[in-house]
Chain A
Amino acid sequence: MADIAIRAVRKSYGKNPTLHGIDLAFASGEFVVILGPSGCGKSTLLRMIAGLEEITSGEIAINGKVVNRLEPRERGCAMVFQNYALYPHMTVAGNIGYALKVAGVPKAERLRRIEETAKIVGLSDYLDRKPAALSGGQRQRVAMARAIIREPNVFLFDEPLSNLDAKLRVTMRAEIRKLHQRLSATSIFVTHDQVEAMTLADKLVVMNKGVVEQVGQPLDIYHRPASIFVASFIGSPAMNLFDAAVDVDNACLTFGGTKMVIDRALAVRLGARHITVGIRPEQCVVAPEGVSIKVDFIEELGSGRVIHSELNGHPFAATVDEHTRARPGDRVTLELPLAHLHLFDQETGRRIEIDLAPRAARNSASQQTLQAV
């Protein structure tokens, strides 16, 4: 159990800045997921917490104690590496128990704890094998066991599931979550997979290009993305984003030959300018009136289908149920409920905190949705 504070942390490799001032605070026992595209600096941040990478400036504190100058072994963190980093010349038992051996734990106790830990991850029958004789999933478990046995204050995971096949990934995800509930150590889990992030996180940190874009609970981030980047990165299929002009005189948004009436007061608050409007594919509703699009191709999901199209020069997708018949070339009319529109400033890329559908209007919008279904 340990809380972690990251204060104004920067990292440069030579002259190349990689992290541009990160400020984060994690509570004790939290499961934190750091999500971001490849190369955004997630691993670098994690490795700085672990002590494997020098901190260029700023400070990291674990349990209130600044650890900048501490060796990895003095920080009480355990790490699961992406490629597992198992010692190829040691048996599974040797790998799991190595930290205890280094710590000078007597052999009898060591063996007892190795067996205990192996049981937790279901490796009891493989203790005498070398890593080369294990499957990917089993190696993954050895890597986890090696971290668990140390009873660390902080668990660090660097994309531990990305080398597994899809099915195993889902199983391991559940196991990691269960394990966290059982051990209640603070866990920091780095991934580029947003599904993984959404399902695992208590607290989600979205990073891009060395800065933190948004911190919050997964659902909050899903419903109120703080920037265009977060909006496009979270959710699958990705949120539709398109350019729209605010027409203050007529109190509407115009895009691609469509006018969408909005509240006059809100239009005034927005001011006459171009903004980026976003809507999730699953929030688009097939309706008699609305935006007309031409179907380019259709993606079958089994439980539904995704219509791919174009709006105002931007790709546009809409999720519809399996009863909606449409073929490439057909025109489909979609209602874009005001309550589900996200507005973004085009200059800063940040969210504009304006709710286009006040409470009353929202209720009727959701009723409409129900009718359409």
Chain B
Amino acid sequence: MDKRAAFRSWWLPSLFALPQIILILLFFYWPAVAVLRWAFTLEPPFGGAAEFVGFANFKEVFADPLYWNSVGVSLAFALCGTLATIFIGLVLALAVDRQLPGSAPFRFLYILPYAIAGPAAGMAFRFILSPERGLMASVNAAFPDFWNPAKYGSHALILVIVVFAWKWAGYTFIFLLAGLQSVPRSLIEAAAMDGCGPIRRAVDIQIPLLAPTLFFLLVIMMTEGFVGADTYGIVARTTDGGPNHGTDVMVYRIVEEAFRGLNYSGASAQSLVLIGLIMIFTFIQFRFIERQVHYK
């Protein structure tokens, strides 16, 4: 049966589509065009028409060592954050999938962090991992400065990665659990008959069969780590990009430049570079990793 509705006139269907079209134009195409325009022009300081400057904005961005710092920080954040979320989600999913008695409530509990906004989680962890009063305070008492995200950039970076992993592990958990549940139970049983314990079963049977899900999560989480709204929110609420640009991820830098520094042109150029980077990453992932993935 043909499910398409047939309209007699052109204006009625257009009317139905209009709200969506307006939304897309307003929040997607207009900003995209504006970013493109800003990236290649400069606004004269005392008003007047914007002036076309070619690649001058990009040259300026690339010449800034702080920009390269933020690329490095972003890479570290996205890579470590992605690996941590997938690893934690996988361990939790494997545990819940065993369906041991009493495991049902954990399925719900593990998903819960995903429902909490990143900035709120960030605020909470500022207290939980505060060097003076938090969980690490007693360690710090014995070994001063063992943990101090307010002083060391590396500690601060670990802190934001922890927050990111805490929140997003719930997300990977859902997908990985669904993936595990679609692995036929008889395969696990066959492996048990073949002499495997639970860990060997996970490594030899379940994880290889999860490869498509893991690949999907790799792409999604890398993108999330680079440009996700949470990445900005967590950094802004937890470390403010500091100390000394130690957690100055690319999205944070862009928003700061644009709305605090009011340098639209520089921020737009950085946005375009970031988009390019993500496209390259995704391409690499599809080109070199997807081939290794088994689809049944």
Interface residues of A (CB under 8 A from B): 50-52, 71-73, 77-79, 81, 83, 85-89, 98-99, 102-103, 132, 146, 150
Contact = CB atoms under 8 A, between A and B. Distances in A.
A295 B209 CA distance: 58
* A-B pairs, 8 with minimum CB distance: A85-B186, A99-B194, A85-B190, A73-B195, A102-B195, A72-B192, A89-B208, A89-B294
Contact of A102 (B184, B194, B209, B296): B194
Contacts of A99: 194-195
Contacts of B190: 79, 81, 85-87, 146
Interface of B: 184, 186-187, 189-197, 200, 204-205, 208-209, 294, 296
B187 to A, nearest CB: 5
Contacts, number: 57
Contacts of A103: 195
Contacts of B196: 73, 102
A86 B204 CA distance: 13
A88 B296 contact: yes
A141 B115 CA distance: 49
A79 B193 CA distance: 7
Contacts of A78: 193
A32 to B, nearest CB: 19
Nearest to B200: A102
Query: What's the dominant secondary structure at chain B's contact region?
Result: helix
Pick the most buried of B187, B194, B208: most chain A CB atoms within 10 A of its CB.
B194
Given A98-B194, A102-B196, A146-B194, A87 B189 contact: no
12 contacts: A73-B194, A73-B197, A78-B193, A83-B186, A88-B296, A89-B209, A99-B194, A99-B195, A102-B194, A102-B195, A102-B196, A102-B204
A146 B190 CA distance: 10
B193 A50 contact: yes
Contacts of B197: 71, 73
Pick the most buried of B187, B193, B208: most chain A CB atoms within 10 A of its CB.
B193
Contacts of B186: 81, 83, 85
Contacts of B189: 52, 72, 79, 81, 85
Contacts of A132: 296
Nearest to B205: A87
B187 A73 contact: no
Nearest to B188: A85
Pick the most buried of A50, A52, A77: most chain B CB atoms within 10 A of its CB.
A52
Nearest to B183: A88
Contacts of B191: 87, 98
B200 A73 contact: no
Contacts of A83: 184, 186
